[in-house]
């Protein structure tokens, strides 16, 4: 959510930003906010004047009563009552205008970074850099669920009976591999100075609307019936929510946290052959990283965050590349974002395994995450998040890139301590 003062002073910049994100249907909101804001400010001035007069007259009543002038005091009380009636009419108008402005402001997209490429959708994202040499073996690589099934590592049929499509049972060494990746990713981030955290797996609606756009919320979140609670789609939501309504000492920044959680997603609109198996699912586990920092440090942290994911995948012998998200592919709260994509030898192309985002002060503004410097100046923090690893997708890349011709799976050296010393998963 952008600062209304910025919109008020730079409406053309906000309009151009909306156009850059190919959301022209939101253009009328700019004029609507300007009009509503003007009405609200006039209403506030009128209401504040009435409150001031009422307070002044109320003091006069006390003075008159102290002087024994009860009759005069009663006459003055009548004027106070009249002011109260006028205020009673204005205050609901004030509240209604504030709510309308807030709703519009939460719909208008955040101002994107000047470095973001302009494009309509993910087909226009731009490759930044490749890490590791993509390799295609001289034997056929089966679909990832076929690899797992041959190792007795997955049961999709039973999961469908129990929970429906989009769920799975991981079994045996594949289940152990899944847990090993999560544990390795946890320790990898701790070694890089991040504080480990296991957050709540449910959050209230105020946190949901604080961390994501309405469109994302509708497409992703599962609501708990009869309660003001949602299952988290990713632990970054709960982790950023940890700082709601806080005033943070600038000297203690940045906060760098890495969190484990299960994640639950509707995955509305998921379709296509590559979304069979465990690529797009309703439940998975994930290791995440978030940063709360000073505005001038967010660019530096953005580069550090995506590099962490690249380094982790390379330590597991998986080639990756980074892809700059274009304007039309950015969620409304994001200032800048890049995807980390892993190489798929089977498909002979890269696919997304993680996403790094700088959200500027948008989440902090919605959740009231403020910072106070040594001089007492207050400002909104910047927030960032990035996927360390999400094993279902990561498992696809891992299995394909470490598959032997006989169907066994190589275990990279760094992962072996988490696999009981195993160097290979065999049939």
* pLDDT at residue 274 in the model: 45
Backbone angles phi, psi at 331, to 5 degrees: -60, 155
388 and 415 fall within a common domain: yes
Residue ranges in 107-234 assigned as alpha helix (H): 144-150, 156-163, 172-191, 205-211, 214-220
- Residue 307 within a domain: yes
46 and 134 fall within a common domain: no
135 and 20 fall within a common domain: no
67 and 184 fall within a common domain: no
Residue numbers in the known binding site for ATP are 265-267, 352-355
CA distance readout (Å), 418 to 169, 177, 182, 242, 412: 20, 8, 10, 30, 11
| Helices 11-20 & 28-66 angle (0-180, nearest 10) | 140
* pLDDT at residue 74 in the model: 65
* Number of C-beta neighbours around residue 108 at 10 A: 23
17 and 165 fall within a common domain: no
> Do 403 and 326 contact (CB within 8 A), yes or no?
no
The residue out of 105, 134, 158 marking a domain boundary is 105
Q: Residue 12 belongs to a domain with what CATH number? A: 1.10.287.40
Q: Which residue has the tokens 């906010």?
A: 33
What is the span of the domain harbouring residue 218? 122-425
Q: Which residues of the chain carry a pLDDT beneath 70?
A: 61-62, 64, 66, 69-71, 73-78, 80, 268-276
290 and 421 fall within a common domain: yes
Three state DSSP letters for 278-340: CCCCCEEEEEEEEEEECHHHHHHHHHHHHHHHHHHHHHCCCCEEEEECCHHHCCCCCCEEEEE
* Cis-peptide, bond into residue 254, ω within 30° of zero: yes
Helix or strand run (H / E) with residue 359 = none
End-to-end CA distance of the chain: 53
165 and 278 fall within a common domain: yes
* pLDDT at residue 272 in the model: 43
Q: Residue 256 belongs to a domain with what CATH number? A: 3.30.930.10
359 and 390 fall within a common domain: yes
The rounded distance, in Å, linking the Cα atoms of 105 and 420 is 53
- Residue 383 within a domain: yes
95 and 145 fall within a common domain: no
31 and 155 fall within a common domain: no
Residue numbers in the known binding site for L-serine are 234, 265, 288, 385
Q: What pTM does this model have?
A: 0.89
83 and 131 fall within a common domain: no
CA 125 to chain centroid: 20
Who contacts 373 (Cβ-Cβ below 8 Å, separation ≥6)?
250, 379
The rounded distance, in Å, linking the Cα atoms of 134 and 127 is 15
237 and 325 fall within a common domain: yes
Residue numbers in the known binding site are 234, 265-267, 288, 352-355, 385
* pLDDT at residue 321 in the model: 98
Domain count, the chain: 2
- Residue 117 within a domain: no
Q: Which residue has the tokens 């609307």?
A: 209
- Residue 111 within a domain: no
The residue out of 105, 139, 154 marking a domain boundary is 105
What tokens appear for 218 in the block? 């509708």
């Amino acid at each position: 959510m952008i600062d209304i003062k910025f919109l008020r002073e730079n409406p053309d910049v906000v309009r151009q930003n909306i156009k850059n994100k190919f959301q022209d249907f939101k253009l009328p909101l700019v004029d609507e906010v300007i009009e509503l804001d003007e009405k609200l400010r006039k209403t506030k001035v009128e209401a504040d004047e009435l409150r001031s007069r009422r307070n002044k007259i109320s003091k006069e009543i006390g003075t008159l009563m102290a002087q024994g002038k009860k009759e005069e005091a009663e006459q003055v009380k009548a004027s106070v009552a009249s002011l109260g009636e006028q205020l009673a009419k204005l205050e609901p108008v004030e509240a209604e205008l504030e709510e309308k402005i807030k709703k519009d402001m939460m719909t208008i997209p955040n101002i994107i970074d000047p470095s973001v490429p302009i494009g309509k959708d993910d087909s226009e994202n731009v490759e930044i850099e490749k890490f590791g040499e993509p390799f295609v073996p001289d034997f056929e690589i089966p679909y990832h669920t076929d690899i797992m099934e041959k190792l007795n590592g997955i049961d999709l049929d039973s999961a469908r009976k129990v929970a429906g499509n989009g769920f799975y049972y991981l079994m045996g060494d594949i289940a152990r591999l899944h847990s090993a990746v999560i544990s390795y990713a946890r320790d990898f981030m701790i070694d890089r100075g991040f504080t480990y955290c296991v957050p709540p797996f449910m959050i209230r609606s105020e946190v949901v609307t604080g961390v994501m756009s309405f469109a994302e919320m509708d497409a992703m979140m599962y609501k708990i019936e009869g309660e003001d609670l949602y299952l988290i789609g990713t632990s970054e939501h709960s982790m950023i929510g940890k700082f709601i309504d806080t005033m943070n000492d600038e000297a203690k920044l940045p906060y760098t946290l890495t969190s484990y959680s299960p994640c639950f997603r509707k995955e509305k609109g998921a379709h296509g052959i590559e979304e069979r198996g465990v690529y797009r699912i309703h439940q998975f586990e994930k290791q995440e990283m978030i940063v709360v920092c000073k505005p001038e440090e967010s660019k530096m942290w953005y580069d550090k965050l995506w590099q962490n994911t690249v380094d982790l995948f390379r330590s597991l012998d998986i080639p990756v590349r980074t892809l700059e998200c274009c304007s039309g592919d950015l969620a409304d709260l994001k200032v800048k974002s890049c995807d980390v994509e892993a190489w798929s030898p089977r498909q002979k192309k890269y696919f997304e395994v993680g996403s790094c985002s700088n959200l500027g002060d948008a989440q902090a503004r919605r959740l009231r995450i403020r910072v106070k410097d040594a001089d007492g100046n207050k400002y909104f923090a910047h927030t960032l998040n990035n996927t360390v690893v999400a094993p279902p997708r990561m498992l696809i890349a891992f299995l394909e890139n470490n598959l032997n011709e006989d169907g066994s799976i190589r275990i990279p050296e760094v992962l072996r301590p988490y696999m009981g010393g195993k160097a290979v998963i065999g049939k």
